[in-house]
Structure 1
Amino acid sequence: MTHSEAVAALEEAEMHAHLDRRDEAAADDGGRRAAELAEWQRVVQLLAATGGPYDPDADVVGQAELAADRRREEAEQQRRQEQQQLAYRAEELARLGGAGRLDRSVPTRAGDEATRDLLDDRGDYRAAKVGAWLARALADQFGHYADPAARAAAVGLLPVPVRACAAMLAALARTGAPIEDDLEFVGRLAQAAPEATTALAAWLGAAAAVKGGTA
Structure 2
Amino acid sequence: MTHSEAAALEEAQLHVHLDRRDESAADDGGRRAAELAEWQRVVQMLAATGGPHDPDADVVVQEELAEDRRREEAEQQRRQEQQRVADRAEELARLGGAGRLDCSVPTQAGDEAARELLDENGDYRAASVDDWLARALADQSGHYADPAARAAAVSLLPVPVPVRARAALLAALARTGAPIDGDLEFVGRLAQADPAAAAALAALLETAAAVKGGTA
Instruction: Give the letter for the 2:150 counterpart.
Output: R
Cα distance in 2 between the residues matched to 1:75 and 1:37: 30
- For residue 19 of structure 1, report the CA deviation from its aligned partner: 8.5
Cα distance in 2 between the residues matched to 1:19 and 1:123: 55
Cα distance in 2 between the residues matched to 1:132 and 1:24: 61
Residue 70 of structure 2 corresponds to which residue in structure 1? 71
Comparing 160-169 and 182-191, the one that deviates more: 182-191
Cα distance in 2 between the residues matched to 1:11 and 1:84: 49
Instruction: Give the letter for the 2:213 counterpart.
Output: G
- For residue 11 of structure 1, report the CA deviation from its aligned partner: 4.5
Deviations 1:89-111 (A, max 9, x none): 11111111111111101000011
SS at match of 1:61: helix
Cα distance in 1 between the residues matched to 2:100 and 2:14: 66
Aligned residues of 1:3 and 1:48 also touching (Cα < 8 A): no
Corresponding residue pairs, total: 214
- Aligned pairs for 1:43-54 (under 5 A) are 43-54=42-53
SS at match of 2:123: coil
- Aligned pairs for 1:44-193 (under 5 A) are 44-160=43-159, 161-193=162-194
The change in CA–CA distance for 1:128 and 1:21 in structure 2 (over 3 A counts) is farther
- For residue 42 of structure 1, report the CA deviation from its aligned partner: 2.3
Instruction: Give the letter for the 2:185 counterpart.
Output: E
Gapped regions of structure 1 (runs ≥ 5)? none
TM-score calculated relative to the size of structure 2: 0.86
Cα distance in 2 between the residues matched to 1:111 and 1:210: 37
SS at match of 2:109: coil
Deviations 1:8-61 (A, max 9, x none): 444455567788889999876666555444333322332233332111111111
The change in CA–CA distance for 1:28 and 1:110 in structure 2 (over 3 A counts) is farther
- For residue 172 of structure 1, report the CA deviation from its aligned partner: 0.8
Comparing 146-155 and 38-47, the one that deviates more: 38-47
- For residue 135 of structure 1, report the CA deviation from its aligned partner: 1.1
Q: CA RMSD in A?
A: 2.6
